[in-house]
Amino acid sequence: MKLGSTVTLVYRGTLEDGTLFGKADADEPMVFQTGMDLVIDGLENEILEMEKGEKKTFTVGMYDAYGEHLDDFTERVPLENIPFGDIEVGKRVWMINDAGEKVAVTVAAVEPDAVVFDMNHPLAGHDLTFEVEILDVEDAPENFISAKEKAKLMGQNNQAMGFGGEDGFTMM
């Protein structure tokens, strides 16, 4: 399989203690194009080594999944700034970050005057075990450019046009 291939698969994902965190079965398989940053790096790297019909069980370490869980990656928001009332510990809600983007967060604590949100991904800090079977593979388009290659090219173009460094961003 190559970057840009479209893969159809079934999987079962579990945590270290056996807790199921995700699955896709033959009735509703997972379908995605590799190289587009649509799945975690560790999963994609393993899938790229597989062929149609192959079954494989592997573990993706936390750093190739969602990273480590950062205890201080929280935000304390005064209760008067919470636009909804149904707040309970463990609930996933959407927040708008400083860049105006929607971000999913978890309610970590409800205090008398504030709510503490955990901004870590729920699977951060965990090694993830996948049982995968590849059902189908469609070849990559001839002119395929991966998301990483596209970002690099855009950065180089931005640099050539005077808009910043190699990554296309300028520190202000």
* Predicted confidence (pLDDT) per residue in 55-101, tens digit: 999 999 999 999 999 999 999 999 888 877 778 999 999 888 888 88
Q: Does pLDDT of 112 surpass 80?
A: yes
CA distance 145 to 129: 29
Q: What domains, with CATH codes, occur in the chain?
A: 6-66+124-148 (3.10.50.40), 74-118 (2.40.10.330)
Q: Look up residue 163 and give its DSSP letter.
A: S
* Torsional class of 44: left (φ above 0), alpha (ψ -120 to 50), beta (otherwise): alpha
Say what the pTM is.
Answer: 0.78
